[in-house]
């Protein structure tokens, strides 16, 4: 949730720096754009590393198998017992 709030604040800051005409606005605009891409990547890396270090499956883990609940919710398929 904190990541979403930070991204929204970055979007607002990017919009304000794009509108405001000052000597530093171009620099701040570039910083906000870079942070828009870097922040989700850092959040994903932290959650992935937390999952790896604790042995739990993380949301974005590329090697985590799908759970049995996800497989049984497909339309037309019966759950495997």
> Taking the model in full, what pTM does it have?
0.57
Please report the pLDDT score of residue 74 as a whole number. 54
List of residues 6+ apart from 25 with CB closer than 8 A:
17, 18
Q: What is the pLDDT of residue 50?
A: 83
pLDDT in tens, 48-63: 888 888 877 766 666 6
Taking the CA atoms of 56, 59, 62 and 65 in sequence, report the sign of the dihedral they define.
positive
What percent of the chain is predicted at pLDDT more than 90?
0
CA angle (33, 44, 57) in 5-degree steps: 165
Q: Are 46 and 39 in contact (CB under 8 A)?
A: no
């Amino acid at each position: 949730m904190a990541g979403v709030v930070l991204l929204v604040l970055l979007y607002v800051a990017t919009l304000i720096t794009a509108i405001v005409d000052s000597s530093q606005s171009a620099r701040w605009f570039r910083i906000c754009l870079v942070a828009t891409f870097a922040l989700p990547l850092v959040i994903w890396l932290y959650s992935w590393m937390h999952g790896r270090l604790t042995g739990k499956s993380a949301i974005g883990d590329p090697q985590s198998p799908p759970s049995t609940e996800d497989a049984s919710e497909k339309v037309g398929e019966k759950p495997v017992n």
